[in-house]
Structure formats: structure tokens, C-alpha cells
Amino acid sequence: PAAEEYGMGLVVWSPLASGVLTGKYDTGMPKGSRMALQEWLREGRYTEANLERVRKFKSLADAAGCSRAQMALAWVAAQPGVASTIIGVRSVEQLEDNLAALDLRLSPRHFEALAAATKPTLNFPAVFLECSGSFSSGVTVLNGGKNPPSAISAKAESEVY
């Protein structure tokens, strides 16, 4: 949302999460893969929760008649503010599969299903921010949304110190 608000274009690096979204790691860590060789790539990506989301993602891609990579890339490219993506391929076959995403048009139903299947479990401060409207200033804007004023909050910007 910030990039869109300020008129910035995003160049998204690793839109396939180092291959996780392709299904490459569904059944384990392939020897010689980037994640097998570089621990920092595994951190935060190679988790059972993420792998389970990717497995659900497969049924959505199958129903749309495309690969998981194509669906992920088409979804990223359709996001507001995304100007381009940086992909990393090791073969002509991967390149051709990735490029086919340029012709894939996802329906609103696809976007809804993807949002439901991939919604992350957020920790602090996300949970805090969800309920902060009840005690923050009524003129504060959080994540693009104005909070309704509480009984103890400022009613106007001039009351905010």
C-alpha cells in the first residue's frame, strides 16, 4: 500500500520464494538446490506451514490449468504497485514456464481463493494493530484506514500533541 500511495513501482525479487512456490520442495530438500546450499534462503521460507500452503496452492493452479509458478508470477504481476519481477531460472524449460505467466489472466475468484489459501498467520505487531483503533487517536491513519474515535481519543488533529 505504501508504494502505491507514494506512486512508487516495486521490483519484486524472488517471487517464487526460491522455488518453494513451484512445488520443488514438496517432498523434501533436493540435493544441490539453492536452499540446500544456503541456509539463509531456508529461514522463513522452508517451514512446514509454508509447504502446506504451497500444497493447497497446487490445487488452485491445477484448476486454472497452469503451473504453480505461472499462477504465482501472474498474481505478483497483478498486484498494485508492482512494476516488474526478478526471476531466477536454471533451464530454458523454467524460463518458458515463467514467461507463460505473462499470458495468464486470473479472475476475481482466483484472487479470492489465493488470498484464502495463502493468508499468513501474523504475529506482533499485526494483532496489536488490528485492535488499536479502540484506543488510538481518532485522527490517526493506520495502514491506510482511519480509526473511529474512542471516548478518550482526540477528536481533531489540533488536539493531537
Q: How far apart are CA 109 and CA 114, in angstroms?
A: 9
Residues 6+ apart with CB under 8 A from 48: none
Residue 46 sits at φ, ψ, to 5 deg, of: -90, 75
The model's pTM is 0.72
Per-residue 3-state assignment (H helix, E strand, C coil) for 126-154: HHHHHHHHHCCCCCCEECCEECCCCCCCC
Per-residue pLDDT, 10: 93
Gyration radius from the chain CA atoms: 20
Q: How far apart are CA 109 and CA 123, in angstroms?
A: 28
Q: What pLDDT, in 10s, does the model give residues 50-95? A: 888 888 889 899 999 999 999 999 999 998 889 999 998 989 999 9
Q: How far apart are CA 70 and CA 110, in angstroms?
A: 13
- State the cell numbers at 161: 500533541
Residue 107 sits at φ, ψ, to 5 deg, of: -85, 165
Q: Identify the residue whose cell numbers are 513451484.
A: 22
Per-residue pLDDT, 151: 63
Per-residue pLDDT, 95: 96
Residue 118 has pLDDT above 80, yes or no: no
Q: What pLDDT, in 10s, does the model give residues 10-31? A: 999 989 988 889 988 888 888 9
pLDDT band at 44 (very low <50, low <70, confident <90, very high): confident
